[in-house]
Amino acid sequence: MEKMGNYFKFIFILLILGLLILGINRYYPENKDVLRKFKLKGDVYTAQFYDDSKIIVTGTMGFGLKCLDIEKGKVHWSEDKDKIVSTLNKPFIYNGCLFTGTDRSNCIYRIDISTGEYLEIYEIDGIAILTGVSDEQLYFIARAKDYSSYKLQVLDFDTGNVSTIYEFQDKLIHVRDPLIFYKDYILVSTLQKNDRNFLYSINRKNGNLIWKIELPMTGMRMSNVIYDEEDSIYWVDRDKNLLYEKNLETGFTDSIQLEDITSFCLKFDGEHILIYGKMEEIGTPNMYYSGLYLYNVNDRYIRTIHINYNNALVNGDKIIYEYRNKIFIYYLETGESREIYSFKEELVDMFATEKYLLLMLARDVVKAHVGYEPYKYVLLSLSVWTIKDDKLFSEIWVVISTDRIRRKKVITLVSRKKDY
């Protein structure tokens, strides 16, 4: 009888567990915070989403170019037989194709983004270090291998011909991403050998230099330039605590006074510009930022957010930030922060779309940088962490993992609080 009782208890537990799994799959099919984990060996230079289901990753020597499939949790395709290296060129995605230069040859590659197949290889006069597509033409900065010249060039897709639009007369050592297209003009941010940062406006039809303005910088650090896709560009002066806005239509430049800016970094989600605030405990392992500014480019309203963080980005109605190995979401509507993920490694960088957050982690950043240890990528779902009617409740998730010691599946019930 005792054995029979234990048998029914076991059946009852399995029944309850099955109902839990069935109920969760029925009512909460999308509720998974950690969707995928990837480990990739080699130094990763850029990561960007494509079509909300793929991630394009580029790296340094020996890494090549890879496409990660989010849904399947594996490498969709990999192109490393020719050792495509893109430390100077962030691949540009356009019309189902990926365009990238290489540090090792005078070529621009046109690759089918769905298969990784080479479609075209264009030979150019120099190394392509920055690319962009506008009006069915590929524009890029070509740098001579001996660094003696920098040229703004255009490639005609129909003929394959390359022509030079403008040759920079100043001695350059760096050109900053991205190329900005505004009507008939291209804006290029440059760093010169005399440690000065200039922004050029060039007429792409006739190659005339329209204007050149100097942007602030400290040492080798300079502000990135944000374009709001309308008629204004923005940059920051860290030393003067100023956010600048230049109207490209009128040429008028305005500024907004801020306080305690310690970074030249600007981040933009299409509506808000995020500006890092004051850096605390400078020079120590516990260094972090306190406070940030959020500027709405549509209504010209600036808001101060009082949080501590090591890395932050703006994503629609929320700010995603990392502080001491934990990921938080700050809701702009309520002013409330929630922890969504924690980790033991170091955060190298993070990338977000409306649906996903990709974390790039490493146990030892230096070893990962030289290829002795892999980077770990963790993909989180942001659709889980949304506010609906400000109601908070507990939800049971089923996490299925593999016990490598006993070589069997382990089912864990995890209780999480979340917004819904």
DSSP track, 173-223: EEEEEEEEEETTEEEEEEEETTS-EEEEEEETTT--EEEEEEEPEETTEE-
Q: What is the pLDDT of residue 1?
A: 53
Among candidate residues 70, 107, 52, 69, the one with its CA nearest the CA of residue 85: 107
Model confidence at 7, in pLDDT bands (50, 70, 90)? low
The answer to whether 222 and 231 are in contact (CB under 8 A) is: no
Handedness of CA 203, 209, 214, 218 (dihedral sign): positive
Structure tokens at 78: 């990999």
In whole numbers, what is the pLDDT of the chain averaged over residues?
77
Task: Return d(Cα 261, Cα 277) in angstroms, integer.
Answer: 5
The answer to whether 285 and 325 are in contact (CB under 8 A) is: no
Model confidence at 8, in pLDDT bands (50, 70, 90)? low
Average pLDDT over residues 80-104: 71
Average pLDDT over residues 3-28: 50
- Look-up: residue for tokens 């900053």? 176
Average pLDDT over residues 241-263: 90
Residue 221 predicted with pLDDT over 50: yes
Taking residue 184's Cβ as centre, other Cβ atoms within 10 Å add up to: 12
Residue with the larger pLDDT of the pair 299 and 45:
299
Give the CA distances from residue 34 to residues 80, 348, 393, in Å, rounded to whole numbers and listed in that order: 28, 18, 20
Residue 294 predicted with pLDDT over 90: yes
The answer to whether 135 and 182 are in contact (CB under 8 A) is: no
Q: What is the pLDDT of residue 391?
A: 32
Handedness of CA 297, 198, 216, 352 (dihedral sign): positive
Q: What is the pLDDT of residue 380?
A: 83
Give the CA distances from residue 242 to residues 247, 252, 258, in Å, rounded to whole numbers and listed in that order: 16, 16, 6
Average pLDDT over residues 302-315: 92
Number of helical (H) and strand (E) elements in the chain, helices listed first: 2, 36
Give the length of the chain: 420
Structure tokens at 177: 């991403």
Model confidence at 409, in pLDDT bands (50, 70, 90)? very low
Q: What is the pLDDT of residue 14?
A: 57
Considering only 34-38, 179-183, 353-357, which range has the smallest mean pLDDT?
Answer: 34-38
Average pLDDT over residues 102-114: 82
Under DSSP, the state recorded for 64 is -
Residue 329 predicted with pLDDT over 90: yes
Model confidence at 348, in pLDDT bands (50, 70, 90)? confident
Task: Return d(Cα 40, Cα 29) in angstroms, integer.
Answer: 28
Q: What is the pLDDT of residue 325?
A: 92
Under DSSP, the state recorded for 129 is E
Residue with the larger pLDDT of the pair 341 and 44:
341
Task: Return d(Cα 223, Cα 275) in angstroms, integer.
Answer: 11
| 3-class DSSP state of 413 | strand
Residue 8's Cα: distance from chain center in Å? 53
193, burial (CB in 10 Å: exposed 0-12, middle 13-18, buried 19+): exposed
List of long-range contacts for 327-331, beta carbons under 8 Å, 24+ apart = 327/357, 327/359, 327/380, 329/382, 329/385, 330/305, 331/387
Q: What is the pLDDT of residue 403?
A: 34
Considering only 10-14, 31-35, 101-105, which range has the smallest mean pLDDT?
Answer: 31-35
Name the phi and psi angles at 32, rounded to 5. -135, 120
Average pLDDT over residues 412-418: 35
Q: What is the pLDDT of residue 24?
A: 37
Burial code (b: 16+ CB inside 10 Å, e: under 16) for 224-244 equals: bbbbbeeebbbbbbbeebebb
Task: Return d(Cα 152, Cα 164) in angstroms, integer.
Answer: 6
Residue 250 predicted with pLDDT over 80: yes
Considering only 14-28, 106-120, 153-167, 307-321, which range has the smallest mean pLDDT?
Answer: 14-28
Considering only 140-144, 193-197, 388-392, which range has the smallest mean pLDDT?
Answer: 388-392
